[in-house]
A and B are shown apart, each in its own frame.
Chain A
């Protein structure tokens, strides 16, 4: 086959594939820009007959969106900070030292990585009732932090192990101290791993649904994922607001995700595939 034809064919297929993956989100945007009366029309139209950009401004007063957005930010940010605070020392220690129980610790991490909140939601709910933590942001932060911890420990452990010990010792000898060496040498060198852990945890917590659905009761303690579906219930249907809000939730994390895409696979497959 002619090489130029081959490349053109690949590009053609590639662009069609890209279009296929983007189309639902394009439809999301088109729906978010339609006036409400167009959404009950049957059959539906392709493009809005009137591009209602104001949907994106009106949606903020149609629901306590700012509050939900703040909840999502606090939960995802809090969970990320907590996970990192727990994972950093563990991953660093396990990467730099051999100790009894190290294998068991890493195995525990590997096994917990296989547990999803969905499988345990009844137990999580009962625990939060017992701790009197239902309908609190603390509960959501704790759950999201715990379930993302294994991934963080694993990916950080991998990045720290890849930093040559000599590099750290050089800084150590220069009088940086153990913690100083960690912050001045090891962390900067393993930055891709740290950023990946941070971004992935943030996005997973941002998108978490079932625990928030179960634990959050008050409207002002619901993250975006739980608030979004309430635009369409048996009493009201505001698909344009539903998708305007969805886009507000999706666009920033897609951009973040694109940033770390190349580092993700190694961590997600628990280091089994390089």
Chain B
């Protein structure tokens, strides 16, 4: 379980996160949603430790990310996998080398064949074993996202973070990526946090949804209750899509 406690973050005078707390349960797809500029990505970066919050803490199964020894922080980090918005694949490495990268860096004790097996298993899991020797520039946006997922799960992480996994993808591919994230979360029994503003993702995989508005947690619940919330900001967000209005 990941617990965030009173996370506050400002850049200069501008308050981005005004004190956000919440719990993300194991084997759950937790979604952080909100309009653009509400601090979703900043919150995710605070959770994974890429940005240090001004106040507050993040606990990974009780272990603090910001108040632990460096060795403990490294240990927590090595239990994380992350899919970045722009995939963040290394341009100079092939698909297989990208997936193998964390193994080479962090699992020096493993032999080559063992590492290759792990890489191929991850690539098979995302349906990309045929693209193993291609360069990132030779594959589509959806395939890059899947390579990002393969790289994130190759170390068998306990926590998976996805920053806008559907951005720039067509609706069909978006649904496939959502399904993949959901299946992997169940299979690996991970704690998964997805930052998105895609209502299809919310309705499809959102077992726990946290809605941010103006840097604060405005609402939390599951995707079934989201359509009936009393929050006007959430209603405005959800029903910005006419399809959602018709669904209700």
Say whether A and B bind each other. no
B residues adjacent to A (C-beta < 8 A): none
